[in-house]
Amino acid sequence: MRESPSVDARTAAATIVGSLLTSTKLMPQEREAALAILEKLAKDVEQEVRQALAIHIRNCAVLPPSIAREISEDVDAVSLPFIECSPVLSDTDLVAIVELGSSQKQLAVARRESVSEKVSDALVATHSGEVVTALLANPAAVVSEPAYHDIVEHFGGDKTVQGLMVERPLLPMTVIERLIQRVSTALRNRLIEKHALPSDLADELVGQAGERAFMQDLASMPRAFDPEALAQRLHATGRLTPTLLMRALCMGDTRFFEAGMAVRAGIAAASAVTLIADRGPLGFKALYDKARLPPELLRAFRAALKVVADVKRSGRANWDVTCVRRIINSIVKEYDEACPDSLEYLLSQISHGILGRSERSARI
């Protein structure tokens, strides 16, 4: 470099020094000299030199962290191969790279040979479809349960994301429960096969998917339809379930909830409406008992009804996700086992008989 300080000479030096550092043949003094040269080359004004250096030291485990960070902050042509491979970059470094906002650098992080939960959380938080897809396609990436739920929330309808999630090596049951309600029949079957779901559990989860679709269809029906007649048909086939009634409340559909309670209790709809409005021991509780709903869920239904009543009193015109969240939060306060994650998870807990389980255990 002293004899011929040309770009070609500096590029050649970068290649040689990078290769030597990656090997284990250097003595301590030689390694010290090589690092001094490397530090100089990492600041070279010519991109070609820095690029040659980055490529040849991307697998080096003895780089000073300061130099590793400097290279990772360089232009994409220099930094991307280094970011994707360097063992020197810590999780803190990688999160900082992700938060800088460069999509190409985020993708390089997502493709690394190993990606920790902390880094995955940062990648998912970008809410970039391309980045999330790259992360899910990396079998070595560790994705946390909350991050999976975030992905379902933002990309649950994306067919590519659905397919990649189904093929993940491990999926939390809470995520499977939500995913199974969104995917096609083919992906649903693959999900059941891939994650070895017991047939009875798979049937229950598919049933929840059907209830969700049913309530969405119900919301689009004209006001003139007869909810009591529909409730009677559902009850006759065993489909007027506690989860369906709770789903109706969570969607603000009090007409169907009232009709469903009346049919289950075998009383007139008008009488059910009166009893629902009465929170006393001879009011809603009497109706609830007559409807033969699980005793441990009484507090959950009361909490949901209180939110519905509060929303109506406030004069709010539209029922939206904030109303659903209020119901979930109210139920969470009533049960230690309730998870404040999502409506689908809460309904799954109801279906599995999880809410109130600790109380039943205590009584036993």
Structure confidence by residue, pLDDT tens digits, 279-290: 776 789 999 999
Tokens of 136: 């899910």
- Whether 143 has a pLDDT exceeding 60, the answer reads yes
Does the pLDDT value for residue 5 go beyond 80?
no
Alpha carbons within 13 angstroms on the beta-carbon side of residue 271 total: 13
CA nearest to 325, candidates 345, 341, 301 = 341
What pLDDT, in 10s, does the model give residues 221-253? 566 678 888 899 889 988 898 888 998 898 888
Instruction: Indicate if the pLDDT at residue 51 is higher than 90.
Output: no
Tokens representing residue 179 in the block: 């995913």
93 and 66 Cβ atoms separated by less than 8 Å: no
Q: CA-to-CA distance for 321 and 153, rounded, in angstroms? A: 12
Closest CA to 185 of 201, 162, 161: 162
Between 99 and 357, the more confident residue is 99
User: Burial level of 98, CB count in 10 A (0-12/13-18/19+)?
Assistant: buried
pLDDT, position 342: 64
Q: What is the pLDDT of residue 103?
A: 95
The structure tokens 């969104």 sit at 182
Query: For all residues of the chain together, what is the average pLDDT?
Result: 83
For 115, phi then psi, to 5°, come to -130, 120
Q: Which tens digit of pLDDT belongs to each residue from 55-108? A: 888 888 888 898 899 999 999 999 999 999 999 999 999 999 999 989 999 999
Categorize the per-residue pLDDT at 364 as very low, low, confident or very high, splitting at 50, 70 and 90.
Answer: very low
SS3 156: coil
DSSP state of 155: H
CA 175, 242, 197, 163 torsion-angle sign: negative
Pairwise CA distance, residues 241 & 26, whole Å = 72
The stretch 25-48 carries a mean pLDDT of 79
- Where in the chain are the domains? 1-86, 90-168, 223-363
What 3-state class would DSSP assign to 141? strand
Contact 244, 214 (CB under 8 A): yes
Structure tokens at 78: 């220099």
**Range with the lowest mean pLDDT among 75-79, 180-184, 296-300?**
180-184
DSSP code at position 223: T
Whether the CB-CB separation of 167 and 176 falls below 8 Å is answered with: no
pLDDT confidence of residue 333: 85
Distances (CA, A) of 62 to 32, 43, 109, 115, 141: 11, 18, 20, 20, 24
Q: What is the pLDDT of residues 299-332, one digit of tens each?
A: 889 999 999 999 988 877 788 778 888 888 888 8
Instruction: Compare 317 and 135 and report the one with higher pLDDT.
Output: 135
Amino acid 131 reads V
What is the 8-class DSSP label of residue 226? -
Entry pTM: 0.60
Cβ atoms < 10 Å from Cβ of 15: 15
Listed residue (179, 185, 269, 260) closest to 215, CA to CA: 260
